[in-house]
Amino acid sequence: MHRTVITGMGVVSPLGSDLGTFWSRLVAGTNGIGKITHFDASNFPVQIAGEVKDFNVDAFIDPKAQRRMDQFTHYAIAASAMAVKDSGIDFAANDPYRCGCIVSSGVGGIATTEAEVLKMKEKGPTRVSPFCIPQIIVNIASGMVAIEHGLKGPNYAVVSACASGLHSIGNAMRIIERGEADVMLAGGAEAAVSPISIAGFAALHALSRRNDDPATASRPFDKDRDGFIMGEGGAVLVLEEYEHARKRGARIYAEVSGFGQTCDAFHMTAPADDGQGFARAMGNAMKEAGVTGAQVDYINAHGTSTPLNDRIETAAIKAAFGDEAARRVMISSSKSMTGHMLGAAGVIESIVCALAIHNGVVPPTINYTTPDPDCDLDYVPNTARETKVEVCANNSLGFGGHNACAIFRKI
């Protein structure tokens, strides 16, 4: 079996649209959540989100092409360009059929869908844009990234709600592992801060309603949590076969050494109350990586800040790791700062794992002030920790009962 390593990373996020800014703000515990500016949310029950604020799309896509794409594709193309530059790889020097791409999304071009439906209703069906369908389909981001870089190998998108991004990484790892490709871009992108998206999640009572205090609204594992915050952005990894990376002298951030995936088969939106499916995904990932719970230094939790998720994730970690190891391992939720980036979450949080290993720093869970008896592990509250990190786990869950876990190791 071939080994898979991370040689490049790119991010567009509520904390910054380059890797260095994102990481420094994350470690500092910076809040990336504020009032919604993408549309007038004054009459919505939820008026806050983690919006991308400093993104210059012109640096990546010419204006004419921009108008033919939904914003989630903008984010994907930008993140992939930054990841490729970070890796130093020259795709022109590689067989294009040995280089592929999986960039996923939870909802794709939802803002475009909403705008075009309203246009059709107001002006008639002949006024719908000829680019409507290519703008909204989930796989288009992966296709456009492939076009940008000339990648002719495996290419598709995964749709598993908020587990989509981590499934991208797992699938790309398997492709390299089997010898089908030498290099894979694996990513996720989401631009779901739109009226129908906010209204829909609000109707589910899934979102926090701390409209007057966006800085502390996302509070994973805290007793007073009341829902997640919608986030947006994109993240892409350059995954490379180990010998291929070593031969070209690439910098290696970490190895992707295990992946586990299960389904609760329980409820359309709620995780199974016993957390056993989630625990099995973690256990399978650790087994493939050849590590035990006692060897994992850090978990980047799914940690959404919803009452159900955080309680059940805590129980699942205890079941997968054993009580002693669960109480020792450091756990934090990046969503306390970025909000929940849906289909991009699993990738940007994998970047956090790789950087924790590379830099020897575990970022905090901010806004953790009131302990919850049901969430009684070490959530690295409010302040980052400088410490040796050799093995990390990243967790993702998605509506429909999708569970995924990836293990990252220091080379």
Q: Which residues are catalytic?
A: 162, 302, 340
Q: Is the dihedral of CA 8, 14, 16, 22 positive or negative?
A: negative
What's the rounded Cα separation, in Å, for the pair 38 and 238?
30
Closest residue by Cα to residue 160 from 171, 173, 149:
171
Burial of 2 (0-12, 13-18, 19+ CB in 10 A): middle
Q: What is the DSSP string of 273-311?
A: TT-HHHHHHHHHHHHHHT--GGG--EEE----S-HHHHH
What's the rounded Cα separation, in Å, for the pair 219 and 238?
31
What's the rounded Cα separation, in Å, for the pair 220 and 309?
9
CA dihedral 112, 113, 114, 115 (to 10 degrees): 50
Reduced to 3 states (helix: H, G, I; strand: E, B; else coil), residue 339 is coil
CA angle 148, 157, 19 (to 5 degrees): 60
